[in-house]
């Protein structure tokens, strides 16, 4: 998708600190980290929001979550981590390409703000 910043990271048209990639998923450090470790895990395929996922994207999104698990293990997040999908304006989604926030290295409160 031409105007999608995350698609441009997938295409390596703009720089990002990539920490993981495979045929389906790419993960990179968030530019504005909210925790000592803050990674965005995204499908290479452009999907704007959770509600625009197709049923056949179920395996793809499973790969996103499993990639997050592997990254968390690699970064030594032994005491836990937070996984967040901001979806739509009420949730504060800024980038319309589905992304999983993986955050760790500190304690998180609940409920989220």
Judged by the rule CB under 6 A, the positions of this chain that interact with ligand AMP are 5, 16, 28, 30-32, 40, 86, 92-95
Based on DSSP, count helices (H) and strands (E) in the chain, helices before strands.
2, 5
Between CA 41 and CA 22 the distance in angstroms is 11
- Catalytic annotation, residues: 99
Shortest reach from residue 97's CB to ligand AMP, in Å: 8
Shortest reach from residue 21's CB to ligand AMP, in Å: 14
Shortest reach from residue 110's CB to ligand AMP, in Å: 18
Ordered DSSP codes for 12-46: TSS---EEEE-SSEEEEE-SS-SSSEEEEEEESS-
Q: Measured at CB, which residue is nearest to ligand AMP?
A: 86
Complex with ligand AMP: residue 40 or 102, whichever CB lies closer:
40
């Amino acid at each position: 998708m031409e105007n999608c910043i995350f698609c441009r990271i997938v295409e390596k048209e703009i720089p990002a600190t990539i920490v993981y990639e495979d045929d389906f998923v790419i993960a990179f450090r968030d530019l504005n980290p909210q925790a000592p470790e803050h990674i965005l895990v995204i499908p290479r395929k452009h999907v704007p929001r959770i509600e625009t996922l197709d049923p056949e994207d179920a395996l793809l999104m499973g790969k996103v979550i499993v990639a997050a698990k592997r990254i968390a293990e690699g970064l030594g997040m032994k005491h836990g981590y937070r996984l967040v999908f901001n979806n739509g304006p009420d949730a504060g989604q800024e980038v319309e390409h589905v992304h999983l926030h993986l955050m760790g290295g500190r304690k998180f409160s609940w409920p989220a703000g």
